[in-house]
Amino acid sequence: MNSEKRWEIFNALKREINNPTTELIFKNPFELLIAVILSAQTTDIQVNKITDKLFKVAPTPEDLAKLSLTSIESIINKIGLYKNKAKNIQQTSQILINEFSSQVPRKREGLERLPGVGRKTANVILNTIFNEPVIAVDTHIFRLANRINLGQGKTPLEVEKKLTKTTPKEFLKDAHHLLILHGRYTCKAQKPNCLSCCINHLCEYKYKNF
């Protein structure tokens, strides 16, 4: 795929998606961090239901660190892997207090030291909160990039590196949310809505499947 087509794809997505941002509901960096940790293998809709309850009880790292694991589990037990996630968000809150003055770190190294935070989660925080031009490759973006030949790779990191290198700079800050929202609602896993897709005329997937 040449650079001109890439620019046209991102330009079309930007016109189609008026507000390319996360669908997780949050009021501050701490709430987004906890929400993203909880979102692994869980829909944003479900996470928003859980965090609405959780943040009423524990809106700060201090509050969350004080809760017992049993209390946290009772609040978040409707999502997958809740026992492990309860431990992670409790430990993360304590580390934020002890090492970062209760603030979410602005650097990847600090973020990835937190339990439950890997490269993808760190990229979400860096992009959404701190406006860094990074791309967090989740299942939607991994599928989309490989499917339409925007950035093919066998691993999320490989796809991330290719997208970061080839995405036009003017779209790089919004690329994560543009791609994830397009993958979530249009270029879906089982039945992509190709006929209503805003980049249908640019996509290279259709030449292999229609």
Question: Over the range 168-188, which residues count as b (16 or more CB within 10 Å of their CB) and which as e?
Answer: eeebbbbbbbbbbbbbbebbe
Catalytic residue among 120, 162, 174, 188: 120
How many beta carbons lie within 10 A of that of residue 5, not counting itself?
15
44 is catalytic: no
Type of residue at 185: Y
DSSP 8-state secondary structure symbol assigned to residue 194: G
As a whole number of angstroms, the distance between CA 122 and CA 37 comes to 10
Catalytic residue among 49, 78, 85, 138: 138
138 is catalytic: yes
Using the structure block, give the residue that is written with the tokens 């890997």.
Answer: 118
Question: Over the range 13-24, which residues count as b (16 or more CB within 10 Å of their CB) and which as e?
Answer: bbeebeebebeb
Active-site residue numbers?
Answer: 120, 138
